[in-house]
Amino acid sequence: MLKLLGRSNAYNVRKVLWLLGELGLPFEQEEWGRGYRPTSEPGFLALNPLGTVPVLVDGEVVLRESHVILRYLAARDRATHLLPEAPAARARVEQWMDWAAYDMTLAMKGAYLGGELGLAPWSDPWAVARGRAEYAQGMGRVDAALAGGIPYLDGEEFTLADILVGFLVHRWFSMKGIERTAVPALAGYYERLSQRPAYRRHIRNGLP
């Protein structure tokens, strides 16, 4: 059986939990990380020398990095509706995944870690202001992409792109310090995702 190591309230762990829920895959979970067993323990470092969560154990396969784990699980389960096999179709999904991972990471750190949690060094006023501005710009771009009436980022079908971006959208609407302009397509997308039981359980579950 699959085993997932990482605390259930961790950002990167929650993405994997969401996908596991979408796929209906049975798994065991061990809580590791802040507030739980320290990832500095030798047993954990033997699985992931970086000491980060999540870690997925599938028999002899041991993986770290949430986006790698998402791709692996989709391929393992032959979930081509989530991650297509055709190169062009797959690239359309992965371009959103990479955008969420790279373009939005610093924005989220400034807006959320700094602006909401007050964690240094992201709590520097410049970092907070810059993060919030970039986050707003990013959400505006998602709103524009959805404005043509498509239900999901790749069109009619829910994909891994929506797992990565859908979590960012939840955090955007959950943060208290953000000034939001009207984003009707984004708001509709958020409510559409919220109809999915796994999203409600692991993402829109009372945590930002």
Q: Reduce the secondary structure of the chain to three states and give it as a string.
A: CEEEECCCCCHHHHHHHHHHHHHCCCEEEECECCCCECCCCHHHHHHCCCCCCCEEEECCEEEECHHHHHHHHHHHCCCCCCCCCCHHHHHHHHHHHHHHHHHCHHHHHHHHHHCCCCCCCCCCHHHHHHHHHHHHHHHHHHHHHHCCCCCECCECCCCHHHHHHHHHHHHHHHCCCCCCCCCHHHHHHHHHHCCCHHHHHHCCCCCC
**Which option is the CATH number for 87-201: 1.10.3720.10, 2.40.10.10, 3.40.190.10, 1.20.1050.10?**
1.20.1050.10
The pLDDT, as a whole number, for residue 116 is 95
What is the residue extent of each domain of the chain? 2-76, 87-201
Say which CATH architecture domain 2-76 belongs to: 3-Layer(aba) Sandwich (3.40)
pLDDT per residue as tens digits for the range 139-182? 999 999 999 999 999 999 999 999 999 999 999 999 998 889 99
pLDDT per residue as tens digits for the range 109-151? 999 999 999 999 999 999 999 999 999 999 999 999 999 999 9
The pLDDT, as a whole number, for residue 37 is 97
pLDDT per residue as tens digits for the range 59-111? 999 999 999 999 999 999 999 999 999 999 999 999 999 999 999 999 999 99
